[in-house]
Each structure stands twice: as C-alpha cells, then as structure tokens.
Amino acid sequence: MGNDRARDWLCRVEEIEDPGSRGFAAGIAGRLVDLLVVRRGNNVYAYANHCPHTGSPLDWMPDEFLSIDKKHIQCATHDALFRIDDGRCVSGPCHGDSLEAILVEIRFGWIFLHTDNGKL
C-alpha cells in the first residue's frame, strides 16, 4: 500500500452523503490548506477550496459545495459550476478554468489525503 508517512486520514467515506460534500482544513506541504471533498458513489474527489476566478471560498454554507441538483460543484460567489470528476468550470466567468485537484484515496473505508500534494 505504500508509505503512510506522507498521508493523513480525513474521515470515513460514509461520513459524506452520496452524493455530498464536506470541507476540511489540512496540512499539505507544510502549510494549512482549505479543501473540499465530494463523494459520488464509491469515488471521492478533492480540490482546494478557492475559486479560480476570484480566489474566494466555494462553499455557501459549511460543507455545502454542490449545486441544488448535486451534479456540480458550485461557487457561492458567482454561481460558476465545476464538474465533480475533474474540477473543470463548465459555466460562469471562469469557464474553461479548473479547480486545483488534491490527491486523495480510499483505504479500508477511510479517505486519506496525500500530504505531499504537488505545488500546494
């Protein structure tokens, strides 16, 4: 399973609704980063919690990152919509831009964060 020194657990998978989302603050590359995790079925996706257009947080209430139909991540500031599976903006002023992906994995029912995530 690899080296666990560069990983940290966030929560159990079932602690996030399906589909649903949850925010976290986590240490990545030596700094505290706000991130969001979205669950869709047996998959989870994580992104830095800031809009590529304004840099503002995406959530409109704590742990609320999804559009009403739960098909997209939605920015609370200007209603931009992002695909859940790759973070690409499909509607709004940042159309074509993407959220910054955070590497996570599911192991033994837990969501683990890779704390050595790239450029963060």
Is 98 among the domain residues? yes
Is 64 among the domain residues? yes
- Measure Cα distances from 1 to 53, 78, 80 in Å: 37, 41, 37
Q: Domain holding 88: CATH number?
A: 2.102.10.10
**C-alpha span between 26 and 9 (Å, rounded):** 10
What residues make up the domain containing 16? 4-114
Closest C-alpha among 54, 72, 78, 106 to residue 64: 72
Q: How many domains does the chain have?
A: 1
Amino acid 7: pLDDT: 58
Is 72 among the domain residues? yes
Task: Note down pLDDT in tens along the chain; length 120 residues.
Answer: 333 444 588 999 999 999 999 999 988 878 888 999 999 999 999 999 999 999 999 998 999 999 999 999 999 998 999 999 999 999 999 999 999 999 999 999 999 998 667 555
**C-alpha span between 25 and 15 (Å, rounded):** 16
Is 119 among the domain residues? no
**C-alpha span between 60 and 118 (Å, rounded):** 27
